[in-house]
Amino acid sequence: MAEGSAFQDRIPDNFCFGCGPENPKGLRIKSFWDGEKESVCRYQPEAHQTAGPRQFLNGGIIATLIDCHCVCTATAAAYRREGRDLGSAPPIWYVTGTLSVRYLKPTPIADPVEMRATVLEETDKKTSLSCILSSDGEPCAQAEVVAIRVPYTWRPSPGTTGSRL
């Protein structure tokens, strides 16, 4: 299933709350290819990520997990489409254009969740994906994501804030 190291570990200067390995307080998810157009991410929720009822995962955390898994999948797909190693220069960056999450049932917080994202359509500027988040084999949320490619100059220099889009 897993092909090499996680997408997130190969994307340079990734400080994102959901997927950035450089963010010590983030979720630090790890995504991998599982076939040509599908990626997988497994994540163990933490007790403080609860919804109102303490046995369920917060919906905002669910949306963040899906968002970051899909945007990183779009990034990995772009590198793959260009025949380049993930993280090679010049860097490729995507941002969320749209995120539509449908919550199907409460997601237990005690069990790991699995996200499976499928690349539906790719162009030079955007990638459309679908994603299912499941727990113990049961779908709990499904989403549609459009990831938009942005120029690397959109990113601020490390240690600064603001963008140059």
The answer as to whether 75 is a domain residue is: yes
The answer as to whether 87 is a domain residue is: yes
Residue 73 sits in which domain range? Answer: 7-154
User: Tokens standing for 25?
Assistant: 């307080």
The answer as to whether 2 is a domain residue is: no
Query: What is residue 163's predicted lDDT score, i.e. its pLDDT?
Result: 47
What domain count does the chain have? 1
Helix (H) or strand (E) holding 4: none
Within 10 A of 43 (CB to CB), how many other CB atoms are there?
22
> pTM of the entire structure?
0.92
The answer as to whether 161 is a domain residue is: no
pLDDT in tens, 98-112: 999 999 999 999 999
The answer as to whether 164 is a domain residue is: no
**What CATH number corresponds to the domain at position 140?**
3.10.129.10
The answer as to whether 160 is a domain residue is: no
Instruction: Give the span between the Cα atoms of 136 and 114, in whole angstroms.
Output: 8
Q: For residue 74, which phi and psi values (nearest 5 degrees)?
A: -60, -40
